[in-house]
C-alpha cells in the first residue's frame, strides 16, 4: 500500500508525500486532525476509514495532493423555490476562486434552503430545522472552515445558530439585496411596498388591473428584499458582529459584480482564518460582539424579527447565553438613535444604503457607542478594523446614514414593553409607527381569538370597532400557530380603512415582517396558547393601556378577575379533553404528534428566549418551556 502512494508521481511533486505515506502506516495513528483526515466515519479502524473516504472522493477526480490541503466547506442554499438565493451558484464559483487562490480546497455541500413565501406554515417553523441541518453537516463533514451562504430572512439566523453550536471557523456570505422596482415612476421595494399597495387595494384606492401590474414590479431581480426587512437587518447585524467585510459585505446588491468580489474575498478569508488563533465562533464572538450587534439593530431601525433571532443566536453561545436578554435590547435602544433612512422606518432602499457607504459608514458613525475591543473575522479588533478602513464620503452619505446629532429618530427604534399582559416582555418597532399618538394610548380591545376568527370578522360592517380600539390577535405565538406567523400586522378593518384610518394600535403574540410598518406590539410572552397567559384571557371591551415612555402594557383588570378567567379557561380546556389525567386536549395532541411538527411543538421555547428548541440552546433542554401550554 505504501508503494501505491509513493508511485503517485503528481502527489510526490505537489503534495505532502510524507503525510500521504503515513496515511498507510498502520503502526501510527492518523497524523492529522484537519481536512480530509478529520472527523473520520466510524468503522472501528481509522486507517480503513480514511482509505475508504479517499476511495470515494477520488471518484470525483481529486488527487492525493489536492486532498492534503485544508478543506473549506461552502454551504449551498440554492433552491428553485428561493429567488432570494438565485445567485448562489455564481457565489459558489467566486468563493472557490478565493479558496483555491489561497491554497485551500473548496468543497460545496447543500443544506435546506428556506424562502419566506414558499414555506408552510411559516419559514420560522423551519428555522430551527435549518439550524440543526447546518450544525450537524458542519460537524459531520471534514471541513476546516465553512463559508455559509445565506440571505433570505431565516437562513442567516439559522446558519449563525448552527455555526456557533458546531463551533468550527465560519464566514457568513450574504446573497445580497435585490434592486428596487418602479411603479409609474415611483421606486418600490419588496416588501414594504407589497404591503402598502395591498392596503390601498383593500381600501379600494387601487383597482385590480393596477394591483396586477404592481405585482410584476415589486421584485425586479433576484436577491433579498430591498428594504430594511429581516434579511437586510440580519445582514447588517452579521457585520455588526464582526463577521463581514464592512464596505460591501452586508449591502452589495445580489446582481452586482461587487457581490461576486465579496464572495471571492470570503473564500480567501476562510483560508486565512485557519492561520489565526481562536477563530471558532465561540472564541471569536464575545458579549461585546453581541452588544455591538444590538446597537446596529437599533441604529438601522431593524426588523423586530431580528430580536427573536439574536436571542436565539446568543443563547447558542455557552459564555454569552443568559447574559443578554430583552431588557438589554431596550437599554441599548435608549442610548442609540435611528440613523439609517430606509423603508419601512424611512424612505430609501438597500441599494441607496450601499451607495452611501453601507455598514462602513454606519460603523464609523456609531463608533462612540460601540465596543471597539470586540474581535472581527480579520483578527483585528473592531477599532483596528475601522482605523484601517477609513470612510471619507460623509458629505454624500449623510442623506442616508445620519449623524449622531441629526438622527432620523432620537432613540429606541425598538422598544421592549412589560406589564401584566406580557410579564416576559413584548416588542414594538416604535420608529415604524404611522401615528405617533398611539404610542401613548388607552383603548378598548377588539379581540380575535385566532387568524380564522379574524379572517371571518375583520371586514364585517358589524364589527364593533373604532379607530381608537386596540386590535388583538391571539393564537399566533410559537406554539399556538406553529412557526409564529408574521400575522401581527393585523389589517385595518375595511370600514375604517375606507374612512382613511391608516394605523391603529395592534397587539399579538405573533411576529411581523421586517418590511412592515404601523403601531404594532408583537411577541407577547408568554403567548396566549399558554394556559397561564394573561394575554390569553383578554376579552373584547377590556381596556388596555400602552405607555411607551414607561415601557408598559397593561390590561386594566383586577388581579382577582384575571385569576378567575385563567382558572375558568383551564377548566374548559381540561373538560374538553376528558382524558389523560386532566391534561388539556391540545397538550395531549402535541405530545402525541409525530415528526418534525411534534418535535417543534414540544420543544420550542418562547419569543423572549428566541423560539429555539430548548435542547439546542447552550443551556440545554427544558429552559423556558411551560408545561401548561395548550
153 is a site residue for ligand FES (CB under 6 A): yes
In the complex, minimum distance from the CB of residue 584 to ligand FES, in angstroms, rounded to a whole number: 36
Q: State how far the Cα of 542 lies from the Cα of 153, in Å rounded to an integer.
A: 36
359 is a site residue for ligand FES (CB under 6 A): no
21 is a site residue for ligand FES (CB under 6 A): no
Residue pointed to by grid coordinates 430548548: 614
Q: What is the DSSP letter of 430?
A: G
DSSP string, 384-425: HHHHHS----HHHHTTTB--TTS-SBSS-SEEEEEETTEEEE
Ramachandran sector of residue 409 (left: φ over 0; alpha: ψ -120 to 50; beta: rest)? beta
In the complex, minimum distance from the CB of residue 189 to ligand FES, in angstroms, rounded to a whole number: 10
Cβ distance to ligand FES smaller for residue 132 or 231: 231
How many chain residues bind ligand FES (CB under 6 A)?
A: 10
408 is a site residue for ligand FES (CB under 6 A): no
- Tell me which of 224, 431, 528, 606 binds ligand FES, using CB under 6 A: 224
| Pattern 434-473, ligand FES, x by CB under 6 A | ----------------------------------------
- Tell me which of 54, 96, 115, 569 binds ligand FES, using CB under 6 A: 115
Cβ distance to ligand FES smaller for residue 190 or 273: 190
Give the binding range for ligand FES (CB under 6 A) out of 223-231, 245-253, 338-346, 522-530: 223-231
Give the binding range for ligand FES (CB under 6 A) out of 67-75, 103-111, 221-229, 409-417: 221-229
Q: Compute CA distances 427 → 250, 414, 424, whole Å.
A: 25, 7, 10
| Residue (of 445, 438, 446) closest to 546 by Cα position | 438
Q: State how far the Cα of 21 lies from the Cα of 12, in Å rounded to an integer.
A: 10
In the complex, minimum distance from the CB of residue 224 to ligand FES, in angstroms, rounded to a whole number: 4
- 8 A C-beta contact, residue 191 and residue 515: yes
152 is a site residue for ligand FES (CB under 6 A): yes
Q: What angle do CA 474, 478, 480 make, to 5 degrees?
A: 45
Residues in 72-101 at the binding interface with ligand FES, rule: CB under 6 A: 84
- Tell me which of 23, 64, 108, 116 binds ligand FES, using CB under 6 A: 116
| Residue (of 154, 121, 344, 294) closest to 231 by Cα position | 154
DSSP string, 57-73: HHTTT--HHHHTSPEEE
- Tell me which of 163, 229, 419, 526 binds ligand FES, using CB under 6 A: 229
- Tell me which of 166, 231, 291, 326 binds ligand FES, using CB under 6 A: 231
Q: Compute CA distances 345 → 206, 437, 465, whole Å.
A: 23, 16, 27
130 is a site residue for ligand FES (CB under 6 A): no
Cβ distance to ligand FES smaller for residue 268 or 511: 511
In the complex, minimum distance from the CB of residue 227 to ligand FES, in angstroms, rounded to a whole number: 9
| Residue (of 468, 443, 453) closest to 543 by Cα position | 443
114 is a site residue for ligand FES (CB under 6 A): no
In the complex, minimum distance from the CB of residue 83 to ligand FES, in angstroms, rounded to a whole number: 7
In the complex, minimum distance from the CB of residue 155 to ligand FES, in angstroms, rounded to a whole number: 8
| Pattern 157-196, ligand FES, x by CB under 6 A | ----------------------------------x-----
In the complex, minimum distance from the CB of residue 93 to ligand FES, in angstroms, rounded to a whole number: 22
DSSP string, 189-253: -TTHHHHHHHHHHHTTSS-HHHHHHHHHHS--SSSB-SSSSHHHHHHHHHHHTT-S-TTTTTTS-
Q: State how far the Cα of 314 lies from the Cα of 317, in Å rounded to an integer.
A: 6
Q: State how far the Cα of 137 lies from the Cα of 143, in Å rounded to an integer.
A: 9
In the complex, minimum distance from the CB of residue 254 to ligand FES, in angstroms, rounded to a whole number: 10
In the complex, minimum distance from the CB of residue 153 to ligand FES, in angstroms, rounded to a whole number: 5
- How many CB atoms are located within 10 Å of the residue 502 CB? 14
Cβ distance to ligand FES smaller for residue 150 or 419: 150
State how beta strands 422-429 and 543-547 pair.
unpaired
φ, ψ of residue 261 in degrees (nearest 5): -70, -35
- Helix segments in 27-122, DSSP class H: 46-58, 64-67, 88-101
What residue ranges bind ligand FES (CB under 6 A)? Answer: 84, 115-116, 152-153, 191, 224-225, 229, 231
Amino acid at each position: 500500500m505504501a508503494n501505491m502512494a509513493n508511485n503517485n508521481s503528481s502527489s510526490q511533486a505537489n503534495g505532502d508525500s510524507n503525510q500521504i505515506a503515513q496515511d498507510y502506516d498502520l503502526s501510527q495513528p492518523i497524523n492529522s486532525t484537519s481536512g480530509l483526515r478529520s472527523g473520520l466515519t466510524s468503522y472501528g479502524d481509522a486507517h480503513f476509514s480514511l482509505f475508504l473516504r479517499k476511495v470515494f472522493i477520488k471518484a470525483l477526480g481529486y488527487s492525493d495532493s489536492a486532498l492534503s490541503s485544508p478543506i473549506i466547506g461552502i454551504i449551498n442554499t440554492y433552491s428553485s423555490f428561493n429567488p432570494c438565493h438565485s445567485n448562489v451558484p455564481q457565489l459558489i464559483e467566486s468563493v472557490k476562486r478565493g479558496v483555491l487562490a489561497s491554497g485551500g480546497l473548496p468543497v460545496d455541500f447543500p443544506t435546506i434552503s428556506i424562502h419566506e413565501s414558499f414555506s408552510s406554515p411559516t419559514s420560522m417553523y423551519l428555522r430551527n430545522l435549518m439550524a440543526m441541518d447546518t450544525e450537524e453537516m458542519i460537524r459531520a463533514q471534514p471541513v476546516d472552515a465553512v463559508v455559509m451562504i445565506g440571505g433570505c430572512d431565516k437562513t442567516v439566523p439559522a446558519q449563525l445558530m448552527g455555526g456557533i453550536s458546531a463551533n468550527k471557523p465560519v464566514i457568513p456570505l450574504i446573497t445580497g439585496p435585490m434592486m428596487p422596482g418602479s411603479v409609474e415612476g415611483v421606486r418600490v421595494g419588496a416588501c414594504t411596498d407589497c404591503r402598502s399597495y395591498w392596503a390601498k387595494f383593500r381600501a379600494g384606492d387601487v383597482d385590480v388591473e393596477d394591483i396586477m401590474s404592481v405585482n410584476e414590479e415589486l421584485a425586479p431581480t433576484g436577491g433579498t428584499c430591498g428594504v430594511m426587512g429581516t434579511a437586510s437587518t440580519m445582514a447588517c447585524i452579521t457585520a455588526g458582529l464582526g463577521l463581514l467585510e464592512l464596505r460591501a459585505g452586508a449591502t452589495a446588491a445580489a446582481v452586482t459584480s461587487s457581490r461576486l468580489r465579496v464572495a471571492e474575498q470570503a473564500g480567501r478569508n476562510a483560508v486565512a482564518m485557519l492561520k489565526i488563533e481562536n477563530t471558532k465562533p465561540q472564541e471569536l464572538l464575545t458579549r461585546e460582539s453581541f452588544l455591538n450587534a444590538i446597537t446596529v439593530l437599533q441604529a438601522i431601525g431593524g426588523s423586530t424579527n431580528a430580536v427573536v433571532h439574536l436571542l436565539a443566536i446568543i443563547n447558542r453561545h455557552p459564555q454569552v447565553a443568559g447574559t443578554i436578554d430583552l431588557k438589554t435590547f431596550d437599554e441599548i435602544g435608549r442610548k442609540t438613535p435611528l440613523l439609517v433612512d430606509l423603508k419601512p422606518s424611512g424612505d430609501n432602499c438597500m441599494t441607496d444604503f450601499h451607495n452611501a457607504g453601507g455598514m462602513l459608514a454606519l460603523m464609523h458613525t456609531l463608533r462612540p457607542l460601540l465596543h471597539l475591543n470586540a474581535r472581527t473575522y480579520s483578527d483585528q479588533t473592531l477599532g483596528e478594523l475601522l482605523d484601517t478602513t477609513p470612510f471619507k464620503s460623509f458629505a454624500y452619505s449623510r442623506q442616508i446614514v445620519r449623524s449622531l446629532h441629526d438622527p432620523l429618530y432620537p432613540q429606541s427604534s425598538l422598544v421592549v414593553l412589560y406589564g401584566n399582559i406580557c410579564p416576559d416582555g413584548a416588542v414594538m418597532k416604535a420608529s415604524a409607527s404611522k401615528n405617533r399618538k398611539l404610542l401613548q394610548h388607552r383603548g378598548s380591545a377588539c379581540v380575535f381569538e385566532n387568524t380564522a376568527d379574524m379572517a371571518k370578522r375583520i371586514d364585517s360592517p358589524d364589527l364593533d370597532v373604532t379607530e381608537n380600539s386596540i386590535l388583538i390577535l391571539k393564537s399566533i405565538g410559537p406554539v399556538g400557530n406553529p412557526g409564529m406567523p408574521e400575522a401581527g400586522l393585523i389589517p385595518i378593518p375595511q370600514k375604517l380603512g375606507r374612512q382613511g384610518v391608516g394605523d391603529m394600535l395592534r397587539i399579538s403574540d405573533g411576529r411581523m415582517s421586517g418590511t412592515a410598518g404601523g403601531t404594532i406590539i408583537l411577541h407577547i410572552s408568554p403567548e396566549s396558547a399558554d394556559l397561564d397567559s394573561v394575554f390569553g384571557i383578554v376579552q373584547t371591551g377590556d381596556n388596555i393601556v400602552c405607555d411607551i415612555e414607561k415601557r408598559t402594557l397593561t390590561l386594566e383588570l383586577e388581579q382577582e378577575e384575571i385569576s378567575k378567567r385563567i382558572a375558568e379557561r383551564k377548566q374548559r380546556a381540561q373538560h374538553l379533553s376528558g382524558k389523560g389525567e386532566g391534561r388539556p386536549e391540545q397538550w395531549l395532541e402535541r405530545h402525541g404528534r409525530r415528526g418534525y411538527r411534534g418535535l417543534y411543538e414540544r420543544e420550542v421555547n418562547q419569543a423572549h428566549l428566541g423560539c429555539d428548541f430548548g435542547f439546542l440552546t447552550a443551556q440545554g433542554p427544558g429552559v423556558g418551556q411551560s408545561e401548561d401550554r395548550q
